[in-house]
Amino acid sequence: MSSDVQYHDHFIERLPTIWGEGFLSPGGPEEVREIVSAIDLAGKDLLDVGFGTGGPAIALVKDHRCSRVVGIDVESQLRDRAAKNVGKAGFTGQIELRIVEPGPFPFSDESFDVVFSKDSMIHIEDKQALFREILRVLRPGGVFVASDWLAGEGPQARAALERFTKVGHLSFTMASGPCGK
């Protein structure tokens, strides 16, 4: 998640017509269900890295019974839209949305049972630092679960990604190997 604004209001307003209310990328609640299918989230405290416009957080509370979701993101206009979606869904007391600076998470060690991310890590350059922070804030026995965009390898895949990022306005940081090495 870059500190530069990538999700302008006009872009945010268009995406729900494609991906569903509260979602900035494909899959909707069905993908959230698939991501967490092997985990019992009932009563768990969960950190949502890159909450976007709140759709995943709402699904995690509504459909998977998380007791609390704390979402972090770097763009305030996303929080404004997510807060409206969370309020409309009736989960203001269970979902907290925070704008954070890129870098270390503003949480104590061992703060969460689960760390979740859907299609957000692609915006984070330093994947090793991200994974260190995820491990730091997870409680013993905690679970990290995520889904994100992937790129193929080789010259054709590289050319396709370069074209995609040139035509679009979002910045992506792909990584290969363990933690970006």
114 or 21: whose pLDDT is higher?
114
- Following DSSP, what letter does each residue of 2-36 receive, concatenated? -SS--S-HHHHHHHHHHH-TT-SSTTHHHHHHHHT
Cβ burial of 23 (10 Å; 0-12, 13-18, 19+) is buried
Tokens (6 digits) for 164 = 């995609």
- DSSP letter, residue 147: E
Contact between residue 26 and residue 19 where contact means Cβ atoms under 8 Å apart: yes
What pTM value is reported for the model? 0.77
CATH of domain 9-180: 3.40.50.150
Which of 12-21, 22-31, 59-68, 130-139 shows the lowest per-residue confidence on average (mean pLDDT)? 12-21
Mind listing the pLDDT tens digit for each residue in 30-59? 889 999 999 999 999 999 999 999 999 999
Helix (H, G, I), strand (E, B) or coil at 139: strand
Ranges of each domain in the chain:
9-180
Mind listing the pLDDT tens digit for each residue in 95-144? 999 999 989 999 999 999 999 999 888 878 888 999 999 999 999 999 99
